[in-house]
Structure 1
Amino acid sequence: MQESELEYSNLSELLSPYRKKERSVGRSFLNWFLENIFGMDDTSADDAICDGSQDKGIDAIYVDELNEEIIVFQSKTVESANKTIGDTSLKEFAGTLNQLSTIENIELIEKGNANEILKKLVVDLKLKNKVTNGFIVKGIFITNASADQNAAEYLASNESIKLFDKKKIVEVHIDFEKQGGVNDEFVFDCSHVTPLNFSTLDNIAEVWVFTAFASDLVKMSGIEDASLFQQNVRLALGSTKVNKAIRKSILDPN
């Protein structure tokens, strides 16, 4: 993918499957992002979207049970290829996130003039229970513009918001039609433990689970330049709770 594909004049081709749902460009762009960058299936993406009149700045919501996070999405498309996103939109988005940060604020949405899709989503996702149980509200801001220095400086001091501008989207987008990964064979010493073997419920795949020595892993082609992971759909997830725990374990000599 090239950044030019995300320019407004070129979005019609990229978003054509989503415009068939009779959605606006902005909502179609959000739908495309949820499926192609965030990794949702089409049904989950449709269920997450609440963009529309009286959406309170909340375009979609997703609950990450594993990382105990309530993720709020806001999408903004711009028509000018030279348009940049500064800190103003991000500061406003931070205020949007506060609407789901406490039980009291969530109840204001439930009882207020928010659109019915948003209200239903808040109830169906049991957000009050999630907040009570310590789930953290985080935001993902999506745009086809480029972030400027003001945006970068604001994000450096606000870890609750992640920005996907056109540069970031191109960086993490995985083109499954493009050749990638490593064409090679690897041998692991599994003599210290018996591997687990099972098939998926639909019998599409046979799965082997085993522990491997780090000394074997570092010999694999594509480890040093990360090309081995080019088509891993989870490659772009970044600093998740699980990844942080793995890093903490690696850094601990004990």
Structure 2
Amino acid sequence: MYDLLAKLATLDEAGGLAKERSVLLLWFLRNVVGLDDLDAYEFICDGDDDNGVDALYLEPASGEDAPETLVIYQSKYTEAPTNVGVTSMTGLISAAAHFTTVESLEALLSGRVEDKLRHLIQRFDLVRKLRAGAYTEGRLRVRIALITSGVLNGSAKRLVASTNATQRPGYFTVHDLNRLGPLAQAVATPAITTADIEAPCSADERIVLGTAPNRVVMASVRAIDIVQWDGIDNRTLFELNVRREVRRNRVRDQLDGAIRRQHEHKDFLAFHNGMTVVCDELVLEEDRLVAKKPSVVNGAQSTIAFARADADAELTNELRVFVKFVEVAGRPQLAKEISWRSNTQSAVNARNLVALRGPQQKLVSDFAVNFPTITYETRPDATLSAAAGKVISNDDAAQLLCAVYNEQPWLAVKRLALFESENHAMIFNESITAAHVVLVDAIKQVVESEKARVPQAYRKSWQLTRMVLIYMVGQVLRSDEKLRRLLLDPATATADLVALAASLRQPSRIAAATLKQRYDQRARDSQVDEFNVDFKRQDVLLELRSRARDNFSLAATLED
């Protein structure tokens, strides 16, 4: 298992991180915590002056009255699956004390501290919150987490248990090789490896349909029994689930909040949609059922949410959900189809909700009249894969328009947020036509063609870097009277796409050269280049904009 983990958590996948322990932590934040691939970089602060904090993350409150939780991470990427003892934990336990009082946190900040850690403390506004009594009054909680490729020895396990007993359940969590290894295995090569699961329920709490070996049983199951099922912790229980665990979003936060409102547990059965479990065989007894070789194909998010609540001692006996158990012995294709069909109800997002509204339908009609060879896609549509001609999706268009016309690349990277009410109205305003969309798409195509001019390090996070380049091209166009006409009159500009691409070539190369300047300067000054974070910061992007404009002006002067 160690070899597999080492293969997955590598420097090649780290996008610029230099330290092995940071690489392991980045892999964890992406694959276990579920942070966006790019966002995960922002929370890693590992360095010589990190004071025992390798990453810092503020979990938002999961309900109206729930507290925020500051998670302090430490990572130990061992050279082999060696034992991890108490000495590897004392520093992490001590580090937590810095974040419980304003005096201790200010004392930390007064000394030598990694710039990244200092930035995160400021970003989370921790000094103000502590001064306002957020920790003492319970509005802010702290927990610690050790991520290691080693294996805890007995003394270390006892220290974790005693720390949680002194603080609270779930205060100190450890992911060692025994937990990370199976998770890495599940990500790499999915297979059902879980033990049989048990669901205590009487005969009058379940309905049985069909005959063995392909029965369907609907049962009312307590959440406190579900969390005992094998394979939740390492996610192997969800091997046949087409979505596995979703990244943190509004729906997940609402689910967490609902579970923690204990007064609603008696009604949870009424408003929860239920779960689906496929298995090879069901054993029905008077007071329980047993599922052999099980997999939760629908309801992974609920199962994981129950486990999170159980770790915080928030579950009660009253919280029940309906679970549909389906026997699929000898019918592997049936198991796959149940998984696919029970998950086709993809969550409705903001993009879906605006698809039939006026601004989007106006663009659909505009494309049909003025750009008949281009299909403007307002929502996912599988039939478009066989359609002739070019397809431009409206979520691509939203990002490009936001970066070029709204001049907000720091917002443009937040793809789905662009369709929220105020942002959608700003981006797809009444002046936007199909020609505007075609123009910004042409900028993207030219930027893609100049990719080789961008430093290799920046290409590792190409979607982010590309958005920065597109923004800079737009800014160069604005700085030149002749080129500005392309933005002001996109209908004329897009009448000849070949000529348009030629006009965009030099601005694209200027943008690429500007990023190379940044990269070379950082290398000469021996500075860590945290471009994954910087390229989403407004101040950094405005500085790059100014430099790109200056470079373009200089190039024009030299040509003259």
Q: Give yes or no for TM over 0.5.
A: yes
Q: Which residue number in structure 2 is paired with residue 169 of structure 1?
A: 180
Q: Report sequence identity in percent.
A: 20
- Which of 185, 190, 215 aligns to 1:178? It is 190
Match of residue 149, structure 2, among 144, 159, 177: 144
SS in 2 for 1:41: coil
What's the offset of the Cα at 1:116?
1.4
Gap change, CA 1:47 and 1:19, over 3 Å in 2:
closer
Structure 2 partner of 1:79: 79
Q: CA deviation at 1:92?
A: 2.2
Distance 2:98 2:268 in 1: 44
1:227 pairs with 2:295: yes
Shift of 1:129: 4.1
Alignment of 1:247 with 2:316, yes or no, is: yes
The aligned residue for residue 56 of structure 2 is 61
Aligned to 2:259: none
Deviation at 1:20, TM superposition (A): 4.2
Residue 221 of structure 1: how far off its partner (Å): 4.7
Q: Which one has a bigger Cα radius of gyration?
A: 2
Q: How does 1:185-196 map to 2 (within 5 A)?
A: none
Separation (CA, whole Å) in 2 of partners of 1:217 and 1:187: 10
Q: Within 1, Cα distance between the matches of 2:39 and 2:312?
A: 24
Amino acid aligned to 2:152? A
SS at match of 2:18: coil
Q: TM-score, normalised by structure 2?
A: 0.35
Structure 2, unaligned stretches of length 5 or more?
A: 62-66, 165-170, 195-214, 220-254, 256-266, 280-288, 321-560
Alignment partner of 1:45 is 2:52: no
Q: Hey, what's the Cα distance between the residues in 1 that align with 2:14 and 2:277?
A: 43
Aligned-partner residue type, residue 151 of structure 2: S
CA contact (8 A) 1:19 1:25 kept: no
TM-score by length of 1: 0.72
- Read off the aligned partner of 1:70 and give its amino acid letter: L
Q: Residues 211 and 73 from structure 1, CA distance in 2 versus in 1: closer, same or farther, beyond 3 angstroms?
A: closer
What is the CA–CA distance in structure 2 between the aligned matches of 1:219 and 1:19, rounded to whole Å? 36
1:115 correspondence with 2:110: no
Sort the Cα spacing of 1:147 and 1:187 in 2 relative to 1 into closer, same or farther, 3 A. closer
Counterpart residue number, 1:205: none
User: Comparing both structures, which one devotes a greater share of its residues to helix?
Assistant: 2
User: Which residue number corresponds to residue 103 of structure 2?
Assistant: 104
- Gaps of at least 5 residues in structure 1 are 189-208
Q: How many residues end up aligned between the 2 structures?
A: 223
Deviation at 1:120, TM superposition (A): 1.0
Q: 1:147 to 1:179 in 2, by over 3 A?
A: closer
One-letter code aligned to 1:106: L
User: Bigger shift: 140-149 or 157-166?
Assistant: 157-166
Higher relative contact order (CA 8 A, sep 6+): 1
CA RMSD of aligned residues (A): 3.8
| Aligned 8 A contact 2:268 2:319 in 1 | no
Aligned to 1:199: none
Q: Hey, what's the Cα distance between the residues in 2 that align with 1:178 and 1:240?
A: 26
**How far 1:248 sits from its partner (Å)?**
5.9
* Contact 2:269–2:319 (CA under 8 A) maintained in structure 1: no
Residue 175 of structure 1, CA deviation: 2.2
